[in-house]
Amino acid sequence: MPNDVETSYDRVAGEYARRIAGELAHKPLDRELLDRFAERVSGAGPVADVGCGPGHVARYLAERGVEAFGIDLSPGMVEQARALHPGLSFRVGDVMALDVADGAWAGAVAYYSLLHLPRPAVVPALRGLARALRPGGPLFVAFHVGAETLHLDEWWGHPVQLDFVFFGVDEMTGYLREAGFVVEDVAEREPYPEVESQTRRAYILAAKPDGGADAPAA
């Protein structure tokens, strides 16, 4: 089945923003982990929210002193983010082909934004993020825990073609290490009732090794 991320998110962008932009208010662990990440990168330079959707994570970080900006594959989602957060920068971009200089970012967040990548694409995407990060730069990743791939052809009444890929914690830490990252911390939680999809969640804090070494070549 096809997996058309850009067109699908363009179709649901308005409804997605309405439903998701306020989600952090109901997710205390997510806020706690993002607070820790913000403390680490505040004042350090540009920090990318990759797959930013309506921009709420970028805004949350910016409110804590982070020079945050957002990138998303969907022009419709970027439009929503710009409308909701006019003081921040958002642009269209693809995690598989980042248009950024080596070492340009002080940090990056992939908050449930790797979930549409087929498994063979995850390590190349992570290598691209490693390239964009300066040595020592942290990467915060959130994802759904599991082994399945769910396909949607309808979402909130809109036709879509989307695969939602779940990852094991050991699987994702393995991908990160293969891409050249050092894994620093892992957290897991059960879903919060009534405020999100009822799937187990995991969060990994990793970092590009300090000392100037690039991630392994693809």
Please answer whether residues 107 and 42 qualify as being in contact, where contact means their C-beta atoms are separated by less than 8 angstroms. no
Domain ranges in the chain are: 5-207
Tokens of 68: 């945050």
* Tally of CB atoms within 10 A around 116: 20
**Integer Cα distance of 72 and 160 in angstroms:** 17
- Residue range 7-40, pLDDT digits in tens: 999 999 999 999 999 999 999 999 999 999 999 9
Tokens of 54: 């309506």
Binned at pLDDT 50, 70 and 90, residue 213 comes out as very low
Of the candidates 209, 204, 205, 203, which has an alpha carbon nearest to the alpha carbon of residue 180?
A: 209
**Residues with Cβ within 8 Å of residue 63, at least 6 apart in sequence:** none
- Residue range 76-133, pLDDT digits in tens: 999 999 999 999 999 999 999 999 999 999 999 999 999 999 999 999 999 999 999 9
CATH level 2 (architecture), domain 5-207: 3-Layer(aba) Sandwich (3.40)
Q: Which residues pair with 67 in a beta bridge?
A: 46
Cα 75 off chain centre by: 16
Q: Please state the pTM of the whole predicted model.
A: 0.94
**Integer Cα distance of 163 and 179 in angstroms:** 23
